[in-house]
Structure formats: structure tokens, C-alpha cells
Amino acid sequence: MSSVLKLGYIAFMLLALSAIFVPSIYTSLSNFTLKQSGVQAKVREIDKNYIFNYIPESSEDFWDDVESLFSNEKEESPELEEGFFEVNIYPSLVNIFATIIRYTSLVISIFGIILIIYISYAMMGSGDIVKLKNEYRKLSQRIDKLENRIS
């Protein structure tokens, strides 16, 4: 049991140290999780379906857009490789999710370390109690023997 506690202590300590000093692990984990759950695909779909991703670069582009509203010609918006939400919102979402995972793992590791220390002291205390009971039993047997000799 003692070796399990030592391994658990080392594991929780490594988890706490990684949460403090290596945040890139949690950013990669959150990015992977959001990709696997389909959040990135939804963000790309929103960017593709909505016009938020087209911002005119100059005043001429703006006036061209205003004129196209009043004309019957339908002009397609230019295709962009990355949309507005994917560039501006998705990284923030990844960072928020990474921070949540990071602080959660830090709190869990601190509680784990405290629990392991508590269990080790409890085991040490129970071992001491067993030793004291045996020593008490031996001493009471010696006292009984000495009383029998005297009487």
C-alpha cells in the first residue's frame, strides 16, 4: 500500500507541475477535444453560411457593396480561407477550455496530494496503535508474571 501511495503522490505532483509550468499540453488537449467534438466544424460552417466574414478593405469596396444592394446583379462574396469566427472566436474558446481543464487538473492534483498525505498519516497512526497495543500486552504479561512471583 505504501508503494501505491508513493506512486500516486508522484503522479499527482507531476500533474500539478504540468498544470503550472506546461500550459501548452492543455491547449493542445482542448484544441483536439474541440475538433473531435465537432465545434471547429460548426464554427467553420457558421463562417461559411454567414456574411460576417466579409469586411470591405477600402471605401471603394464599401461603395461597391452599397451599389450592389440597389442593383439586380448578384455578386458573390469572396471566398476566404479562414472565417471571422474561426480567426477571432475559436482561439478564445480553445484558451477558455484549456484554462478550465488546467485549473481543474491543478485542483484535483492538490486534493489528491492532500488525500495521499492524510492516508499515509492515518496508516502510520494505525501502525503505531498496533505496536502500542502489542507492547502494552507484553508489559501487562510481565507485570502479571512479576505479581505472581511476589505473591
pLDDT (tens digit per residue) in 62-73: 666 666 666 665
Asked if 54 and 80 count as a contact pair (C-beta separation under 8 A), the reply is yes
Q: How far, in Å, are 57, 66, 84, 89, 140 from residue 47 at the CA level? A: 18, 22, 6, 11, 84
pTM above 0.75, yes or no: no
pLDDT (tens digit per residue) in 76-110: 555 546 777 788 889 999 999 999 999 999 999 99
Could you state, in order of their start, the residue ranges of all structural domains in the chain?
2-114
